[in-house]
Amino acid sequence: MNRLSTAVLLALACTSSQAADNATANSAPALRVVHCGHLFDAGSGRMLGETSIIVRGERIESVQPGSIALPAGATGIELGSATCLPGLIDSHTHLTFETSPTGFSDQFRWNVADYAIRSTVYASRTLQAGFTTVRNLGDGDGESISLRNAINVGVISGPRIFTAGTAIGSTGGHADGSDGYRKDLQGDPGPKQGIINGPEDAWKAVRQHYKDGADAIKIMPSGGVLDESASADNPQMTLEEIKAVVAAAHDYGFTVAAHAHGAEGIRRAVEGGVDSIEHGTFMDDADMQLMKARGTWYVPTIIAGKYVEEKAKIPGYYPSQIAAKALKVGPIIQGTAGRAYRAGVKIAFGTDAAVYPHGENAREFKYMVDAGMPPAYALQAATTHAAELLKKSKDLGSIDAGKYADIIAVNGDPLADITIMQKVGFVMKAGTVYRQDGHAVGE
């Protein structure tokens, strides 16, 4: 066994042991009652008064007004005057890597195991920030599938993950990880790696994702910022390729998210039948009307644009090609989100976590409100809207009987000050408490 393998096994053994200890300490008793000073009702967007949430095992049994007496055998969780909300959903994350000035060169030194081990830290940060569910839209080599599986069986703690595995795109496009390499290192990635050129390749790529165990599909029909190609917004997939991906994906029960900055790429993606547009920086009025007519979701990721613009001003943080694109996209993305909201486009919360440090996801709420969205709408975007986009409304998105007991709490009224969402004090996911009194359980 080589030294890398030994190090990986030791790290995972330590993580598994710690997770097992936490699971023993945190495991939910059969019946709990969470007493909240206030409750944000995500369905109506209204703030309710004192409320008791009865949790049996992993799910909510009932929600009752006032502070009820504990039933026989129940354990109480007293949150005082805090405001309870449904566990938050981030519809656009990348849990297996994180921004760094050495990010481009790291890929030539790090193995998949390096990214996988770091992802356990990023997942924990995300859960501690109140995000109990995420949609992971792209990784390097399917490592987010393994991360999801480890969380699901309790080996490590983290949010519930619905992952797209690797993104699907065209040769030289935003999904092509060999952009910027010298020729002898580029190779010729194909459908197995998510790179397609034509409808037949599209079917093969989707079927490979099904084989790999993905939950969703992510495509790249336009240029992007954080790659070594020249354009952030040119179209990079044909309408026929997009239609083929969508047809194959829907056959297998996948939803399709489309990374798209440029107006033409957005139009093709919507006409091709995708379920959501991610980023949408240069979306025009015609795109917005088309999305509204088709019922296509929009996931703005304002924080990502703000962050890359900020870092692009630091010499050497990004390669020059990337910095130039970041300075072009950053100043525009928030205004686009505001226009889309006013146009009536359906919006779900998403941040592009990894482009900025994991755990800071809730900063997006302030950017959404500053773009003109009411605080209640911004919170619904991260709860009921995101659950609908994921097609998981039966289980997620609101505090209602029968749904998973995903409950968070903050001190104060987020409808009056949305920034308090950045200070989550209590986190319960599927009936298990992971954060209480502002600290991770077990700290």
Residue 209 pLDDT > 90, yes or no? yes
Summarize the confidence of residues 232-239 as an average pLDDT: 93
High-pLDDT (> 70) share of the chain, %: 91
Cβ neighbours for 321, distance < 8 A, ≥ 6 positions apart: 180, 228, 229, 230
51-93 pLDDT, tens digit each: 999 999 999 999 999 999 999 999 999 999 999 999 999 999 9
Q: What is the mean pLDDT of residues 272-279?
A: 98
Same domain, 226 and 365: yes
Sheet containing strand 407-410, strands side by side = 46-48, 38-41, 83-86, 407-410, 424-429, 432-436, 439-440
The answer to whether the CB of 390 falls within 8 A of the CB of 255 is yes
The contacts of residue 372 (CB under 8 Å, 6+ apart) are 338, 341, 342
What's residue 369's pLDDT? 98
Alpha-carbon span 369 to 47, nearest angstrom = 17
One domain, residues 307 and 379? yes
What's the average model confidence in pLDDT over 143-172? Answer: 96
Reported as type and span, the H/E element at residue 372 is none
β-sheet bridge partners, residue 41:
46
- Structure token digits, residue 323: 């910095």
Q: Quick one: 104 and 82 in the same domain?
A: no
pLDDT at 176: 66
Pick from 13-27, 54-68, 98-112 the range whose average pLDDT is largest. Answer: 54-68
Strands (E), 201-280: 217-219, 256-260, 276-279
Taking 90 as the threshold, does the pLDDT of residue 442 lie above it? Answer: no
Same domain flag for 196 and 306: yes
Count CB neighbours of 128 within 10 A: 20
Q: How far apart are CA 62 and CA 233, in angstroms?
A: 48
Mean pLDDT of 298-310: 97
Note whether 127 and 23 are same-domain residues. no
Domain that includes residue 198, residue range: 88-389
Least confident window among 169-178, 212-221, 235-244 = 169-178
Rounded CA gap, 54 and 33, in Å?
A: 5
In this prediction, residue 25 carries a pLDDT of 41
Among 86-100, 226-240, 416-430, the least confident range: 226-240
CATH number at residue 232: 3.20.20.140
Mean pLDDT of 290-307: 98
In this predicted structure, what is the pLDDT of residue 172? 75
Q: What average pLDDT is seen over the chain?
A: 92
Q: What is the pLDDT of residues 108-151, one digit of tens each?
A: 889 999 999 999 999 999 999 999 999 999 999 999 999 999 99
pLDDT of residue 29: 54
Judged against a pLDDT cut of 90, whether residue 276 lies above it is answered with: yes
Average pLDDT over residues 287-297: 98
Q: Produce one character per residue of 194-218: b if its CB has 16 or more CB atoms within 10 Å, e if not.
A: bbbeebebbbbbbebbbeeebbbbb
Q: Confirm if 276 and 326 have CB atoms less than 8 A apart.
A: no
**Could you tell me the CATH number of the domain that includes residue 427?**
2.30.40.10
- Of the candidates 102, 8, 81, 93, the one whose C-alpha atom is nearest the C-alpha of residue 38 is 81
If you average pLDDT over residues 279-285, what whole number do you get? 97
**338 and 407 together in one domain:** no
Do residues 307 and 272 both lie within one domain? Answer: yes
Interatomic CA distance for residues 269 and 358, integer angstroms = 28
- Residue at token pair 């379920």: 275
279: pLDDT strictly greater than 50? yes
Closest C-alpha among 305, 296, 360, 363 to residue 333: 305
Write b or e for each residue in 326-363: b if 16 or more Cβ atoms lie within 10 A of its Cβ, otherwise e: bebbbeebbebbbbbbeeebbbbbbbbbbbbebbbbbb
Task: List all residues 6 or more positions away from 255 whose beta carbon is below 8 Å from its beta carbon.
Answer: 216, 217, 249, 275, 276, 389, 390, 391
Q: In this predicted structure, which of 5-9, 113-117, 261-265, 278-282 has the lowest mean pLDDT? A: 5-9
**288 shares a domain with 423:** no
- Do residues 304 and 402 share a domain? no
Q: How far apart are CA 144 and CA 95, in angstroms?
A: 7
Residues 147 and 237 in one domain: yes
| Structure confidence by residue, pLDDT tens digits, 34-56 | 999 999 999 999 999 999 999 99
Residues of the chain with pLDDT > 90, as a percent, come to 82
367-410 pLDDT, tens digit per residue, is 999 999 999 999 999 999 999 999 999 999 999 999 999 999 99
Same domain, 103 and 181: yes
Residues 291-300, mean pLDDT to the nearest whole number = 98
Q: How far apart are CA 96 and CA 165, in angstroms?
A: 10
* Residue 7 pLDDT grade (very low, low, confident, very high; cuts 50, 70, 90): very low
State the pLDDT at residue 231.
83
Instruction: Determine the average pLDDT of the residues in 415-422.
Output: 98
pLDDT of residue 181: 67
Identify the pLDDT of residue 232. Answer: 86
pLDDT tens for 305-314 read: 999 999 999 9
Residues 113 and 65 in one domain: no
* Predicted TM-score (pTM) above 0.95: no
Whether 19 has a pLDDT exceeding 80, the answer reads: no
- State the Cα–Cα distance between residues 275 and 372, nearest whole angstrom: 24
Q: Name the domain count of the chain.
A: 2
Tokens 């008791």 correspond to what residue?
52
8 Å CB contact between 257 and 245: no
